Structure 1
Amino acid sequence: MTTWITICDTCKQEGWDAGDMTETDGEAFASLVEAAATGLQEVKTRRVSCLMGCARACNVAIQGAGKLNYTLGDFEPTTDAASGIVAYAMAHAASPTGQVPYREWPQAVKGHFVTRHPPLPQDE
């Protein structure tokens, strides 16, 4: 089953306006995550404008139908962080419930979890 990595492309870290301002931190991070996920069948990426986690830029959501879903934030836009997110998303995709044992978490995602959401009910 596919796990989606939803990446906020409007995230701006503190001091962003002092940089070159050609792209937001979120746009830079999204490009890195997309590159790390290229060619994977079980993990897909998408960009959204604002996950409302501005105090913890750069933000992503790890989501799969019928599974626990997670929001992570406070990343630096680096290849290590992007690779860690993709590795976690692959483990999420392989898990029937979306729960990944802590011992299997990539180091790059530890300390970045913000929320966990239960799956939506199948019936009303």
Structure 2
Amino acid sequence: MTTWITICDTCKREGWDAGDMSQTDGESLAYLIEAAATGLSGVKTRRVSCLMGCKRGCNIVIQGNDKLNYTLGDFEATTEAASGIVAYAISHSKSETGQVPYRDWPQAVKGHFITRHPPLPDTE
């Protein structure tokens, strides 16, 4: 089953305006995640404008149908962060419930979890 990495491309970390401002920190992270996920089966990426987690930018969401979903944030736009996010998404895609044992978490995602969302119910 496909796991989606939803990436906020409008995130700006503190001090962003001191740089060249040619792209947001979210855009920079999105490019790195997209590159790390290219060609993988079971993982797809998409960008959205604003996940409303501005105090913890850069933010991403790991999502899959009928699985636990997770919001993560406070990332820097680095290849290490992008690789860790993609590695976690691969594990999420292979998990029946979306839960990944802590021992299997990449170091780059530890300390970045903000919320966990249960799957939506099938019936009302």
TM-score higher than 0.5: yes
Q: Which amino acid aligns with 2:11?
A: C
Q: Deviations over 1:24-72 (max 9, x none)?
A: 0000000000000000110000000000000001000000000000000
Tell me the equivalent position of 2:110: 110
Query: Percent identity of the aligned residues?
Result: 79
Shift of 1:19: 0.4
Q: Which amino acid aligns with 1:76?
A: E
Verify: 1:75 aligned to 2:75, yes or no.
Answer: yes
Tell me the equivalent position of 1:38: 38
Query: What is the rounded CA distance, in whole Å, between the counterparts of 1:122 and 1:38 in structure 2?
Result: 32
TM-score, normalising length from structure 2?
A: 0.99
Query: What is the rounded CA distance, in whole Å, between the counterparts of 1:123 and 1:82 in structure 2?
Result: 36
Query: What is the rounded CA distance, in whole Å, between the counterparts of 1:111 and 1:10 in structure 2?
Result: 22
Query: What is the rounded CA distance, in whole Å, between the counterparts of 2:34 and 2:104 in structure 1?
Result: 22
How many positions carry a matched residue from both structures?
124
Tell me the equivalent position of 2:120: 120
Query: What is the rounded CA distance, in whole Å, between the counterparts of 1:113 and 1:49 in structure 2?
Result: 20
Other structure's SS at 1:74 match:
coil
Other structure's SS at 1:71 match:
strand
Unpaired segments of 5 or more residues in structure 2? none
TM-score, normalising length from structure 1?
A: 0.99
Other structure's SS at 2:52 match:
coil
Query: What is the rounded CA distance, in whole Å, between the counterparts of 2:72 and 2:5 in structure 1?
Result: 10
